[in-house]
Structure 1
Amino acid sequence: MLSDFFDRLLRRGAGSGPGTGPPAGPEVPGRARPPGNLVLEADFSSTEQWVAGRTWAYPRGGPTNPGDNKLDHLTDDPAYSRSGLFRATRRSDGYWDSGLLTTEGSAEGFLLRAGDVLEARVRLPEETGAWPAIWTWLDGGQEIDVFEYHPDNPDLLELSNRVRGRHHYFRDPAVRPGAWVDLRVQFGARSVVWWVNGARVFDDRRGVGRSWRAHLIVNLSVCAGRYHPAPGPGTSEMSYEVTELRVYRA
């Protein structure tokens, strides 16, 4: 259970291959157990909890978003997202069938609130052009990027508060293609705080404001080449994995 998430991190020895995860960071007093009650335990197979293959964060709800330098062609095919393995495969028209799940428009309609704490465990992709992310969205904005990653910057996670214009490029040797990474974000009204592998790495000191609300999005995009390299001609498939995602509320 993720209630023991950081206890496990502190006990875990070195090792970062699949199934082992990266080593824990230094202990921070009061951080080992998340505050509050569990309000979301992600079941990606649930059609009540998650909608696949569309989001109003993309023009007209999708399926494409070339204006954001993406080659995505969103698909609701369960094989691309419903197991927690988010996949993208090359199409003949130049786009990539891509997996995306969101709580936006779902029967449960889950919304994050200011003060919530999100914890997730992800395996980073290896293929150039892969663009995985966990992020938030509502009514044309309210975007907080729990993380974004590009394998061409192999040791770097992008952590962003796009609500109030703050971001941080976090570099660490434990961040690399194929590595397992443990993430935690507290969506504070006055400061959004990120932890990576148990270590507190960024306090943005801007926060989201007391009235902030947003849906969750988990997806794998594909870069079109303007800001990060597009996939090479020999690449036809890519993936990343999310094995745990939970939200706690005080």
Structure 2
Amino acid sequence: MKKTKMICSMLVTSVIAASLFSCDLDETQTVTTLDNLVMQEDFDGTELNSELWSFELGDGSEEGLPGWGNNELQYYTDREENLKVEEGVMTITARKESFQGSNYTSARIITKAKFEKQYGRIEARMKLPWGTGLWPAFWMLGTDIDQVGWPQTGEIDIMEYDGSEPNVVHGSVHGPGYSGGNAVTKSYEFINDRLDTGFHTYGIEWGENYINYYVDDVLYNQITPENEDVTGEWVFNKPFYIIINMAVGGSFVGPPNADTVFPQTLEVDYVRVYE
């Protein structure tokens, strides 16, 4: 289970478009305006864009990582039952069903070897599912993972979510000496809103020696090599690729319980990258 270092809060009023945001941030933070759009995925058409995305299939055993290294319970497929592109939205659906020895199915897509980026603003507009045991994520891995392995390659979790907490998301980095339960992480909490009832934008602005975390353009965290929890090498000044998936179960969220309703769907309106 990931340790939460701090929770930032967003109080959203339902009557007027106003908000109160509270979070203790370092006044010396680096903030960069990035407006040159270099990748725009609006999920037009009726199929996943194979020039940008690939499916990762299976239960992780093909990679020597049963449960994808996290005790996850799903089998990832490329079936329409688990991933669909329709009316400008990409949906990943987790289902409770017996498939290839697993009791759940879902989908996981990556841009590895197709779109890889060093630095920029990376964001996605998403509507999240709800229920114990659901673990959707929008994240990145270093392109040298096949050579150096994890966590040396580095991992940037732009948005990670425990479906039993429908008003909280997490942003983290994993690297050598600060991975798994010791990841450098912070949580962002909506006080009177739920993330399964509407779309929100989750993003980072990433440059040399810093990563800024945003929800709906609100900056809630900055991680740099100087963070006290970065107890090893900073491995984020190199290219990474993008991953979107929805796991079922796993060490972060635990298994589904009797109250978890299936199927559950992660909806993605767009993914955009600026520099």
Residue number in structure 2 paired with 1:65 = 67
C-alpha distance in structure 1 between counterparts of 2:38 and 2:256, whole Å: 38
SS in 1 for 2:69: helix
1:167 aligns with 2:185: yes
1:104 aligns with 2:129: no
Residue number in structure 2 paired with 1:205 = 224
Instruction: Identify unmatched segments of 5+ residues in structure 1.
Output: 1-12, 17-21
Q: Residue type of the partner of 1:149? A: Y
- Give the superposition deviation at 1:151: 2.2
More strand as a share of residues: 2
2:57 to 54, 59, 71: 54
Contact 1:189 1:209 in 2 (8 A): no
Q: Residue type of the partner of 2:67? A: N
Instruction: Identify unmatched segments of 5+ residues in structure 2.
Output: 1-11, 22-29, 179-183, 227-233
Identity %, equivalent residues: 22
1:118 to 117, 122, 130: 122
Residue correspondences, number:
222
Q: Residue type of the partner of 2:134? A: A
Q: Residue type of the partner of 1:41? A: Q
Q: State the Cα RMSD in Å.
A: 3.2
Contact 1:24 1:197 in 2 (8 A): no
C-alpha distance in structure 2 between counterparts of 1:67 and 1:240, whole Å: 22
1:146 to 158, 161, 164: 158
- Normalised to the residue count of structure 2, the TM-score between the two structures is 0.69
Q: Residue type of the partner of 2:39? A: L
Residue number in structure 1 paired with 2:97 = 91
Q: Residue type of the partner of 2:128? A: L
- Give the superposition deviation at 1:47: 1.0
The 5 A counterparts of 1:230-245 are 230-233=255-258, 235-245=261-271
1:186 aligns with 2:205: yes
Residue number in structure 2 paired with 1:134 = 138
Contact 2:209 2:237 in 1 (8 A): no
C-alpha distance in structure 1 between counterparts of 2:116 and 2:38, whole Å: 10
- Give the superposition deviation at 1:54: 3.4
SS in 2 for 1:230: coil
| Change over 3 Å in CA distance of 1:187–1:231 after alignment to 2 | same
- Give the superposition deviation at 1:215: 1.0
C-alpha distance in structure 1 between counterparts of 2:123 and 2:92, whole Å: 18
Contact 1:129 1:222 in 2 (8 A): yes
Misfit runs of 4+, over 6 Å:
22-26
C-alpha distance in structure 1 between counterparts of 2:36 and 2:158, whole Å: 20
C-alpha distance in structure 2 between counterparts of 1:90 and 1:111, whole Å: 33
SS in 2 for 1:70: coil
Q: Residue type of the partner of 2:188? A: F
SS in 1 for 2:130: coil
SS in 2 for 1:157: strand
Q: Residue type of the partner of 1:213? A: P
SS in 2 for 1:65: helix
Contact 1:125 1:238 in 2 (8 A): yes
- Give the superposition deviation at 1:64: 5.4
- Give the superposition deviation at 1:210: 6.8
Q: Residue type of the partner of 2:70? A: D
SS in 1 for 2:188: strand
